[in-house]
Structure 1
Amino acid sequence: MGHSWLWEKKMDYYAALYLKERWEKLLVVLGEEYLVLFDGGRAIDRDLVKRRIGMFCDAFDDMYKKQSKWVLSDKGLRLKTCQLIEKAIVPSYKSYLQKNLPEFDMGNHVRYTADSLENLINSLFQMKLGKFEGMNCRDMIGIMKNVVIDHFSYTPAAA
């Protein structure tokens, strides 16, 4: 079968396991609504929909905060992992919004659109440079030299 085929299968297995263990609980929040009978028809409980959207967004924020601390240095693995998460979360979220909230009501109760959710997911597992982002290499080397020089210049003298 070959080493690369086995590696691919193992990677697929662990990616699916990661997705199930970490991200699947978000989808549970978007379960079916309790329907209320209204004039012989069925109406969706809007308060429950709004609460579930809020719970989903809170759970997503928490998961994003935890997962964004991780870095996947292999670009292919990072892209594949983000795509798996995106394919599992975004369509379900988008479908939930379309099914349960009219378009004019979405802006008032939705923290994330499907597109913004997709963008956040695709930003996961990347190295965050923080205040050094956008600096060129020469500037960063200068900062590191200053830190090293400052460290040794303030070392207390032996008594």
Structure 2
Amino acid sequence: MPWSDLEDEIDRWTKAANVALRILFPSERRLCDRVFFGFSSAADLSFMEVCRGSMIQLLSFADAIAIGSRAPERLFKVLDVFETLRDLMPEFEAVFSDQYCVFLRNEAITIWKRLGESIKGIFMELENLIRRDPAKSAVPGGGLHPITRYVMNYLRAACRSRQTLEQVFEEIMAPPSGGDRSLPSSPLSVQMAWIMELLESNLESKSKIYRDVALSSVFLMNNGRYIVQKVEDNELGSLLGDDWIRKRKVKVKQHHGSYHRSSWNKVVAVLKLDNNYLASNGASKALKDKLKSFNTYFDETCKTQSNWVIFDEQLREEMKISIVENLLPAYRSFLGKFHNLQDIGKHEKHIRYSVEELQARIDELFQGSAGSAGGSRK
């Protein structure tokens, strides 16, 4: 059956199971007790014969869901079936309490546990999906990768059923080998932390596709920032803990630093001069050559990075400010020394940018191109 049709069937099953266990079977139980008043064994046997077929049909549907596909997108409906059976357990205990019906009650418990195993299996399949996601082509402009959006939105949605998932993962689980031992140690938090570790490892592999180290850092910055935003202020963040979030924020800052070292620091380095250099006879020509080199590096860097993307507006502004604070003082100082040359007149034509024009070009960075953000940031 197509999954879309099966989703509708699960909704119908949920309503039917509640009506059967809360209304129809209790009514049938009372009727059997009244008809066979004084003959409890006959009442029990009659009730079992009347209800067995319908109950087995309801349980068989739940069992089919439990043993069906463990594709990640099925989690939420499997949770619905699991929660329905769990919430109806008191009714199972009350209605099917006699010796003839005990097998139905036991079967319900078995299938309920099987549904729990199916939920665990779905999370294992999510892990496999992350592991198998290939690092074939780079996201244009170093934007958000689809696997990041998918996993983070999936986990946020899953954590809305935190209480149920805690129940499913309640067995003692050791942290995966190599995992962060400082993480909260509840079974569900360990599971979530392990999935996040797989995702981060996958993104690290994908970042190596970019030949430009600076662009690789932008990619990791974008995806790292998105992960932090999706974790904060919700159940997922509560499970992973404040220390986990803090460490990921530090990582984003580290990628920011790597971006500068591999990009703008090289542009700024062209402008650096020492006093001995200025005192030499060839200072005028050397300054002119450095200015020409700076213009070339700056133009190439701006042209390239104007097509890169920073999806988060605040991060984008922080990036531009850091570039301005790194570059403009060095450029202003260089121009001051350049203007002190005696033969400035014949070299002034090489000054392509004023300080204000330099800042205006920087403001045009990270605009991206169509599709650079890797799709919607939601």
Could you say which TM-score interval applies, normalised by the shorter chain? 0.5 to 0.7
Deviations 1:11-40 (A, max 9, x none): 211101100011111122112152346xxx
1:108 pairs with one of 346, 349, 365: 349
Q: Does 1:72 align with 2:310?
A: yes
Is 1:90 aligned to residue 328 of structure 2?
A: yes
Larger radius of gyration: 2
State the partner residue of 2:251: 10
Secondary structure at the aligned position of 1:30 is classed as: coil
Deviation at 1:107, TM superposition (A): 5.0
Q: State the number of aligned residues.
A: 124
Classify 1:44/1:93 alpha carbon distance in 2 versus 1 (closer, same or farther; 3 Å): farther
Structure 1 unaligned residues grouped into runs of 5+: 38-42, 130-159
Q: What is the CA-CA distance between 1:50 and the residue it aligns to?
A: 1.2
Corresponding letter in the other structure for 2:253: D
Show the counterpart of 2:35.
Answer: none
1:47 maps to 2:282? no
**Partner SS, residue 352 of structure 2:** coil
CA distance in 2, matches of 1:121, 1:35: 29
Instruction: For 2:269 and 2:304, locate their aligned partners in 1 and report how far apart those are by CA, in whole Å.
Output: 19
**Residue 35, structure 1, aligned to residue 275, structure 2:** no
Q: How far apart are residue 108 of structure 1 and its match?
A: 2.5
Tell me what 2:362 maps to: 121
Question: Alpha carbon RMSD of aligned pairs, Å?
Answer: 2.5
Q: 1:122 to 1:72 in 2, by over 3 A?
A: same
**Residue 92 of structure 1: SS of its match in structure 2?**
helix
User: Unmatched 5+ residue regions in structure 2?
Assistant: 1-241, 371-378
The 2-side partners of 1:98 and 1:44 are apart by 18
Distance 1:35-1:102 versus aligned 2 partners, 3 A rule: closer
- How far apart are the structure 2 equivalents of 1:44 and 1:81? 37
Contact 1:71 1:126 in 2 (8 A): yes
CA separation in 1, counterparts of 2:332 and 2:273?
14
Quick one: distance in 2 between partners of 1:29 and 1:87?
16
SS in 2 for 1:35: helix
1:133-152 paired onto structure 2 within 5 Å: none
Match of 1:58 among 291, 296, 320: 296
Q: Tell whether the 8 Å contact from 1:29 to 1:55 is kept in structure 2 after alignment.
A: yes
Distance 1:74 1:68 in 2: 15
What SS class does the counterpart of residue 90 from structure 1 fall into?
Answer: helix
1:53 is displaced (CA, Å) by 0.6
Whether the aligned pair in 1 keeps the contact of 2:306 and 2:368 (CA below 8 Å) is no
Name whichever structure is richer in helix by fraction: 2
CA drift at 1:127? 4.3
2:79 paired residue number: none
